Structure 1
Amino acid sequence: MPVVLLFAAVAAVLWGLLFARRASLTITALATVAVGYVLGHSFWNAHVGPLPLTLDRLLLGGLACLLGWRMWRGELDQRRIGGVEWALAAVLAWLTFSALTSRPADDAQLPTSPMWRLLFSFWAPAILLFTGRAARESSRTTYLFMAGLAALGGYLALTALAETAGLWSLVFPRYIADPNLGLHFGRARGPALNSVSLGIYLTVCLWSAWLLLPKAPRALQAVLLVLMPLMVLGVLLTYTRSVWLGLIASGVAVLAVQLPKRLRGPVLSGLLVLGVVAGPLAATSLVALKREDSGHMSQHSVQQRTAFAYVSWKMFQDHPLKGVGFGRFYDQKLPYLSDRSQSFELESLRDLHHHNTLLSLLTETGMIGLAAYLGVLYGLARAAWRLANSDETTDAGRRLGVLCLATLACYLPSAVFHDLSLVHSDQWLVFLVAGAALGFERRLGLSTVGAAHRETPAAGQDPAFSGAAGLG
């Protein structure tokens, strides 16, 4: 095995040297995320001493090397530093400090290593965001980026249909058919074996296909028109409430940008009224939803959210500023489960991680950690809105801004019902799209010297996608 790994490493270096001269950083980052999601740990993994290797980790290492090489050669754009960057730096610094100063005792039994979660759910996404932010990308590359996401969505949609129909011979990778692996067997769950992750990926890919549609050649438009309904069906087949809410929220976000300004107020107000009226009825139906488990189990799952909120509040009261330590909710919650001052039971939380990304950060890293992370999300949403509505950028840049808004909108509902930092592939996708959009947004309002690298809308149009309609 060491000899094989040595030859593989030499081959990778040689191919990397050839690849590094012409490679697009954004497309390379997309390939890293897509390959890591489709061909994850269950597909291939190996150990070099204590170091576990997977394809996504190898590709991420290659991307970091490529980024460093481009930086050394001065081939990255020098862009203004804004609030997002400072907030992200605060998140990384505070979470790292928290993880290092609250390390579990040797006898503590944690199913997930806090340091692993820190590296792959926060530091790795930061690398992906910085890659997109610093890259010098053309409109053509941006369209290819969205086309790559659309292609990924087509594969995931067909996989979702095949696995829910029991057509296992058409499912790849094969381990998806193993009911003993992962979660949510019986629903569409995809290569990550998790219906929540599949729903988030399908939603992002769906809006990428939608935004690419007006700029695509006729043949590609026909393909996209077939694939997009399949992606929607794939999202529905996850049978996951938060994913469905994310699809609706992201649709509203796209609508808010693409509607003419004179119609935005009335239409969005009407949707708000409809949500207030129909929301309680829909909530009742969602709570009673039957999936691969029984209706009783679905009801219990909903009730557990109350228990998580109660325990989180008690932990926050005891540790409001610093939290109990990053990655420590799993063992630090145990003393709180004996509380009998309320009518609902808490004991079922004993073997569970947190089910809310924001409350997890609050209990583990306190108000400091949560405020910094919310600052990142707010800054990204603000930058995406500015980009989507800007006349200073290319058509591709505006479309990327809309895609970033849709991505954040579909991420937040699932983040409220699940701790997505435990599934690093979801974090990677969100920060990948956000970084690509942030790179375009940071070009806005530059001086004449800084604008030398910026395309005008006319120059930025790719001939392969010319002659199509704009955003409207």
Structure 2
Amino acid sequence: MGFLGLLFALAAIAWGILLAHRVSLQMLALATLILGTLFGPPFFAIQGPILFSIDRFCWFAMLGLFVARVFADRTRPVEPNRMDWLVLAFVGWLLISSMMGEAPEAGTEPLARWIFYAFLPLGMYIVARFSRLSRWELNVIQISFIALGLYLGLTALAEKAELKSLVFPSFISDPKNAEFLGRGRGPLLNPTGNGFLLSIAMTAMLLAFQQRQRVAKIGCGFAMLAAAGGVYATLTRSVWIAAAAAISLSQINQIPRGIRIWAFASALVFATVIGLVFGDQILNLKRDKNLSASAAADSIELRPMLAIIAWEMFKDRPITGAGFGHYFAYNQEYAQAPQWEMPLRKAIPYHQHNVLLSYLVDTGLIGAGMFTLLALSWGLKGWQIARSSSACREAQNIGLLMVATISSYLINGMFQDVSIIPMLNMYLFYFAGLTVAVDTVDGHLPQQILSRRRPAPVIGKPAASR
């Protein structure tokens, strides 16, 4: 495996030198995400001080090429705005927090968690935010997510039907990876992560269906059916809610203002009826192949216990938290709190089931506050771009995809810590970088970057500030 990795590295260097002056950094960032999704560490990895996989080689190549172009192209200086500094401050605080307190005896090292779930996403944000961007590249991004969603949807359906010969890569259906087996977990081996990507893809499909010609509409319609089947095949309640919310938010602009309140009320009534009629079946849904329906229902009982442990830990360290990645170093002592008449010790082996509580416990009000501010700001910028009459259609679509991304991330994050699911933070920061980049030019983008050496247009004020 080491020799194979060496050959891959030499080939990558040779092709990198050849394509260094031609490749689009935005396309390289997109390729890094897709390769990381399809061919991540379960497919190929080189074990060392840090686990290296294909996507991580691509990440280093992407960032190295970005740095080289920044120094070579003096006509386009990198000028961070307040949002960029806030992102940097958040990731910097996570690094400082990871060095605080006792490290857990088992599990992921805090520094390794910071590298994979904060530092790598930061690099993705920087490249998406500061690299040259055109309408053509935004179109390619949307089409790529449609293709990715079609693949993920069909693969999830094949998983659910146990058609192993149709599942690629084969590690997805490998029984050695027993967790979530029997559900549409996809190449990320996690049904929530798979559903998160499908929510974004379904939004891209619906936008393309509305904006393309008749033949393309047929293809987009088929892709939406496949992606919707994949969402169901995850058998994850939060994924169902998040997918519905992402699609609904992308269509609010299409609904007349006077009807929106009635549409919202109707959706609420419909959801209430579904909950009353099918509530027991949904709560006792048998999901994992090796997990009974009663065991699945018991997992719901863990959530209040985890919330109690989080509350007790927060009371002792409200400002700075226990330390990023240090949760398992302290949760056992708080699971013995005598004032709660609940078997809190049952929750000891589990991560927090809420992303905000996870940040609050680990990084305190400082970290959780910055993350909340970032999430709200990214969602608001995406919404403003989508509603901007001066922005091009491709920019508006990216705004709506950002809204779908942040809504799906937060809704799924209400039920589990999505920040530790592989690749999810990479996608979140990627779309955030694209959104801020589009916002800085008020949604006005060239059709195509004709020359990589041509000076960029003058950057105007953000659309949100006008």
Alignment TM-score, normalising by the size of structure 2: 0.89
CA-to-partner distance for each residue in 1:212-246, whole Å, 9 max, x for gaps? 23444544332221111110111011111111111
In 1, distance between residues paired with 2:176 and 2:91?
A: 35
In 1, distance between residues paired with 2:237 and 2:209?
A: 28
State the Cα distance separating 1:20 from its structure 2 match. Answer: 2.5
Q: Secondary structure at the match of 1:332?
A: helix
Match of 1:317 among 302, 315, 318: 315
The answer for the alignment partner of 1:295 in structure 2 is 293
CA contact (8 A) 2:440 2:459 kept: no
The answer for the alignment partner of 1:386 in structure 2 is 384
Which residues in structure 2 correspond to 1:70-219 (within 5 Å)?
A: 70-74=69-73, 81-102=80-101, 104=103, 108-181=104-177, 183-216=179-212, 218-219=214-215
Q: Secondary structure at the match of 1:181?
A: coil
State the Cα distance separating 1:87 from its structure 2 match. Answer: 2.3
The answer for the alignment partner of 1:345 in structure 2 is 343
Q: Secondary structure at the match of 1:424?
A: coil
Structure 1: gaps spanning 5 or more residues? 455-472
CA contact (8 A) 1:80 1:442 kept: no
In 1, distance between residues paired with 2:342 and 2:371?
A: 31
CA contact (8 A) 1:26 1:436 kept: no
In 1, distance between residues paired with 2:33 and 2:22?
A: 19
Q: Which amino acid is the alignment partner of residue 414 of structure 2?
A: V
Number of aligned positions between the proteins: 448
CA-to-partner distance for each residue in 1:239-274, whole Å, 9 max, x for gaps? 111111111221221122332344334433443455
Is it true that 1:330 corresponds to 2:328 in the alignment?
yes
State the Cα distance separating 1:445 from its structure 2 match. Answer: 8.6
Identity among equivalent positions (%) equals 29
CA-to-partner distance for each residue in 1:402-452, whole Å, 9 max, x for gaps? 111011111111112111221231111222222222211121199xx9855
CA-to-partner distance for each residue in 1:155-187, whole Å, 9 max, x for gaps? 111111111111111111111222221520011
Alignment TM-score, normalising by the size of structure 1: 0.88
Deviation larger for 22-31 or 390-399: 22-31
The answer for the alignment partner of 1:226 in structure 2 is 222
1:221–1:274 CA distance, 2 compared to 1 (3 A): closer
In 2, distance between residues paired with 1:378 and 1:430?
A: 13
Is it true that 1:50 corresponds to 2:46 in the alignment?
no
State the Cα distance separating 1:29 from its structure 2 match. Answer: 1.2
CA contact (8 A) 1:354 1:418 kept: yes
In 2, distance between residues paired with 1:62 and 1:266?
A: 50
In 2, distance between residues paired with 1:193 and 1:4?
A: 25
In 1, distance between residues paired with 2:297 and 2:74?
A: 54
Q: Which amino acid is the alignment partner of residue 195 of structure 2?
A: G
State the Cα distance separating 1:389 from its structure 2 match. Answer: 0.6
CA contact (8 A) 1:390 1:398 kept: yes
The answer for the alignment partner of 2:374 in structure 1 is 376
In 1, distance between residues paired with 2:76 and 2:240?
A: 38
The answer for the alignment partner of 2:251 in structure 1 is 255
Structure 2: gaps spanning 5 or more residues? 445-454, 461-466
In 2, distance between residues paired with 1:129 and 1:221?
A: 32
CA contact (8 A) 1:161 1:234 kept: yes
CA-to-partner distance for each residue in 1:298-349, whole Å, 9 max, x for gaps? 2211110000100000000011111111101112101011223223211122
The answer for the alignment partner of 1:443 in structure 2 is 441
Q: Secondary structure at the match of 1:51?
A: coil
Q: Which amino acid is the alignment partner of residue 440 of structure 1?
A: V
Q: Which amino acid is the alignment partner of residue 425 of structure 1?
A: M
In 2, distance between residues paired with 1:309 and 1:4?
A: 46
In 1, distance between residues paired with 2:160 and 2:272?
A: 33
Is it true that 1:286 corresponds to 2:282 in the alignment?
yes
Q: Which amino acid is the alignment partner of residue 142 of structure 1?
A: L
In 2, distance between residues paired with 1:430 and 1:315?
A: 28
The answer for the alignment partner of 2:464 in structure 1 is none
In 2, distance between residues paired with 1:120 and 1:323?
A: 20
The answer for the alignment partner of 1:17 in structure 2 is 17
1:3–1:76 CA distance, 2 compared to 1 (3 A): farther
State the Cα distance separating 1:22 from its structure 2 match. Answer: 2.4
CA contact (8 A) 2:392 2:443 kept: no
**RMSD value, Cα:** 2.4
1:217–1:79 CA distance, 2 compared to 1 (3 A): farther
In 1, distance between residues paired with 2:3 and 2:79?
A: 46
The answer for the alignment partner of 1:359 in structure 2 is 357
CA contact (8 A) 1:153 1:205 kept: yes
1:452–1:369 CA distance, 2 compared to 1 (3 A): closer
In 2, distance between residues paired with 1:77 and 1:410?
A: 34
1:8–1:36 CA distance, 2 compared to 1 (3 A): same
In 1, distance between residues paired with 2:440 and 2:194?
A: 30
The answer for the alignment partner of 2:425 in structure 1 is 427
Q: Which amino acid is the alignment partner of residue 93 of structure 1?
A: G
State the Cα distance separating 1:209 from its structure 2 match. Answer: 1.5
State the Cα distance separating 1:112 from its structure 2 match. Answer: 1.4
